[in-house]
Amino acid sequence: MANAAYKAARGLCRDFGEVEQLQVSRKGPADFVSSADHKAERTLVEELTRARPKFGFLVEEGGEIKGEDSSNRWIIDPLDGTTNFLHGIPHFAISIGLERDGRMFAGVIYDPLRDELFWAETGGGAFINAQRLRVSARARLGDALIATGMPFKGRASHPEYPVMLDSVWAATSGVRRFGSAALDLAYVAAGRYDGFWEFALSPWDIAAGLVVLREAGGIVSEVDGGDRMMESGDILASNGHLHEYLRELLAQAAAAGR
C-alpha cells in the first residue's frame, strides 16, 4: 500500500508544481487537475493489482471494480483535498483503505509534500513513517483544537451546521477547516487535532482514516453516536477523552438548529 502511494505521489507532486504555474493562466488548472487525479488513480489501481491480483476496488473516479476475492477490497481516494490542489494550496493526500470481510482492516494516508505516511493495520498500532502514533491526552474541551469540514456548493444543506460550528468554536480553543478529510482524521490520530466532525463524506474519504485513528487510540462514530459512518458519511472522530462531550455539544446544537 505504501509503495503504491509513493509511486502515485511522484506524479501528483509533479502535477502540483504545474498547477502552481497554471494558477496565473486564464484557462485555469481545472481540467489539468482532473487529469492528475485520474492518473494517480490509474497508478494506484495498477500497483495494487500487481501486488494483490484478486482484490476488488472501490475508487472515487472509477467506482466499483469487482475482484475474484470477495473478502478483500481497496477503497481509494487518489487525491483528497482537490480544491486545495486546484488552488495551489499544499495540503492534500492519497488515501488507501483495505476492507476485509466488510470491515476496515488497514489504511494508508500519504501527504506527499510533507512526506508523512500515516498507516495502520488492525491490531498492529498506528504509525507516522516509522514512528508510533498516539492521539492527544487533552481531556478538556476548552483546550481542544477541533477540525471540521463545512458543507459547500452542491452538497445537501445542513441547517444545523452553523449552529454546531457556533457552539464548538465557543467551547474550544479553536476550529480548523483545512480541506482534506483524510488528513483531518490522520491529524486526530497524530494528536495534532483533538477532534473532527463532518457530514456526508464518501467512503473513500474516511476508509483509511478509520483504521489509523482507532489504532492510534481514538474513537470514531457518526455525529449522533451511531456506527454506520461508511454508509452515512457522517463522522465524529476524537481522542476518546472528548468524545462524549463533543457528541453532546453537537447534539444540543443540532436540536437548537432544527
Question: Which residues here bind ligand IPD, judged by CB under 6 A?
Answer: 77, 79-83, 149, 179-181, 198, 201, 205
Residue 217's binding partner among ligand IPD, Ca ion, none (Cβ under 5 to 8 angstroms by kind) is none
Nearest to 95 by CA among 83, 81, 105: 81
**Cβ atoms of 109 and 185 closer than 8 Å:** yes
Cell reading at 114: 510533507
Q: Rounded to the nearest whole angstrom, what is the least distance from the CB of residue 183 to ligand IPD in the complex?
A: 8
Q: How far apart are alpha carbons 75 and 64 in whole angstroms?
A: 9
Nearer to Ca ion, 79 or 98 (CB): 79
Of the pair 15, 241, the CB lying nearest ligand IPD is at 15
Write down the least CB distance from residue 147 to ligand IPD, Å: 9
Annotate 103-114 with three-state secondary structure: EEEEEEEEECCC
d(CA 189, CA 79): 20
Q: Residue 65: what are its φ and ψ, rounded to 5°?
A: -125, 110
Name the binder of 201 from ligand IPD, Ca ion, none, CB < 5-8 A by kind. ligand IPD
Closest distance to ligand IPD from the beta carbon of 158 (Å):
12
Give the up-direction half-sphere exposure of residue 206: CA atoms within 13 A in the CB hemisphere.
Answer: 25
Return the beta strands (E) in the chain as ranges. 55-59, 63-65, 69-80, 93-100, 103-111, 116-121, 126-128, 131-132, 145-148, 174-176, 195-198, 219-221, 235-238
In the complex with Ca ion, which residue's Cβ is closer, 117 or 141? 117
User: 41 is in the binding site of which of ligand IPD, Ca ion, none (Cβ under 5 to 8 A by kind)?
Assistant: none
Comparing CB distances to Ca ion, the nearer of 138 and 198 is 198
Beta carbon of residue 149, minimum distance to ligand IPD (angstroms, whole number): 3
**Measured from the CB of residue 16, what is the shortest distance to ligand IPD in angstroms?**
13
The residue sitting closest to ligand IPD, measured at its beta carbon, is 149
**Enclosing H/E stretch for 163:** helix 161-171
In the bound state with Ca ion, the residue whose beta carbon lies nearer, of 84 and 136, is 84
Among ligand IPD, Ca ion, none, what does residue 81 contact (CB within 5–8 Å per kind)?
Answer: ligand IPD
Indicate which of Ca ion, ligand IPD, none lies near residue 35 (CB less than 5 to 8 Å, by partner kind): none
Q: Are residues 97 and 107 in contact, defined by beta-carbon separation less than 8 angstroms?
A: yes
99 binds, among ligand IPD, Ca ion, none (CB under 5 to 8 A by kind): none
41 vs 215 by CB, closer to ligand IPD: 41
Question: In what side-by-side order are the strands of the sheet with 69-80?
Answer: 63-65, 55-59, 69-80, 93-100, 103-111, 116-121, 126-128, 131-132
Q: 205 vs 215, which CB is nearer to Ca ion?
A: 205
**Where do contacts with Ca ion occur on this chain (CB under 5 A)?**
60, 77, 79-80, 205
Residue 109 touches which of ligand IPD, Ca ion, none (Cβ within 5-8 Å per kind)? none
